[in-house]
Amino acid sequence: MRLLLVEDDDHVAAALSAILARHGFQVTHARNGEEALQALLPADAPPFGVVLLDLGLPDQDGYEVCGRIRKRTSIPVIMVTARSDVRSRIHGLNLGADDYVVKPYDTGELLARIHAVARRRSGSGEEAGGRGAGEADLVRLGPVAVELATRRVTVDGAEVPLTRKEFDLLALLAQRPGVVFRREQIISEVWHTSWEGTGRTLEVHVASLRSKLRMPALIETVRGVGYRLVAPAAA
C-alpha cells in the first residue's frame, strides 16, 4: 500500500518511514502542506491508501490541509498530532479525518489503525476495481436509495449531498434496517475510535441526516442504547 506521510520533522519522518517500510508500506514523505497536496495531484500515479497528517506544519495548519485534501479525494486521513484536547479532536473529525492519533503513540496501534481505515475504505467499494453498482451495492428504503459503491444518496430520484461521515453513518444503518446499533458500535465503525467525546458529534450527524433527507422518522433514537433505521412503509 502507498502511504503519504505529512511530517515536518525529518528525524521523526525517517524513523516512522523505516518502520512502515518494514511492514510493507511504500512511503512518500511530504514536509509541508503544499508538498502533500502536490503529491496527491498526478492522476496517472497509483493512489495512496492512507494519509498520515501531522497538524503542526510550517506553511499551513494541518486542519486546513485536511479540508483541502477532503475536497479533492476520499483517501482516508489519520491525523497524528500532540494536540490531545477534546476540542482539537472534534474539530479534526468534523473536517473529515477518519481517525485521530495522539503523540506519543504505540507503533503497533498506529499500524492497526492504518489497516483498519484502509480496510473500511476497500469494503465501501471505493477501491474495488471493475465492480459496478449492482444489487448488492444498492439499498432501497422507500423513497430513499443508498448506492454504496458510488456513495450516492437520492430521495425520490433527487440526489442529496452528504458529507463523508454522514454517508458512512447512513450506509451503516441502512444495511441492517430495524437493527439497533449501539452508540459505541456506531462510533467505532464510522469514526474508528472508542473515544467517548465523539458522542456529541454522532448526535450532530444524526440531526443533519434527518434534516437533509427531510425524513425525521427515518432514524429512530433508542433511548439509552443508540439508533436504528426505520424503513418507510411501501406506498
- 116 vs 213: CA distance, rounded Å: 29
- 165 vs 213: CA distance, rounded Å: 15
- 170 vs 190: CA distance, rounded Å: 10
What amino acid occupies position 20?
Answer: L
In which residue are the cell numbers 503542526 written? Answer: 56
Q: Any idea how long the chain is?
A: 235
- Secondary structure letter of residue 137 according to DSSP: G
Whether 97 has a pLDDT exceeding 80, the answer reads: yes
Q: 130: how many CB neighbours lie within 10 A of its CB?
A: 4
- Secondary structure letter of residue 198 according to DSSP: G
Give the pLDDT mean for 80-104. 86
Mean pLDDT taken over the chain: 84
> pTM to 2 decimals?
0.55
Is the CA virtual torsion 158, 163, 168, 169 positive or negative? negative
Whether 154 has a pLDDT exceeding 80, the answer reads: yes
Per-residue pLDDT tens for 184-200? Answer: 878 877 887 665 556 67
Domains of the chain by start residue, with CATH:
2-123 (3.40.50.2300), 135-229 (1.10.10.10)
Q: 92: how many CB neighbours lie within 10 A of its CB?
A: 23
Q: How high is the pLDDT of residue 127?
A: 40
Is the CA virtual torsion 130, 20, 28, 167 positive or negative? positive
Q: How high is the pLDDT of residue 16?
A: 94
Per-residue pLDDT tens for 35-91? Answer: 999 998 876 677 898 999 999 999 999 999 998 898 888 889 999 988 888 888 888
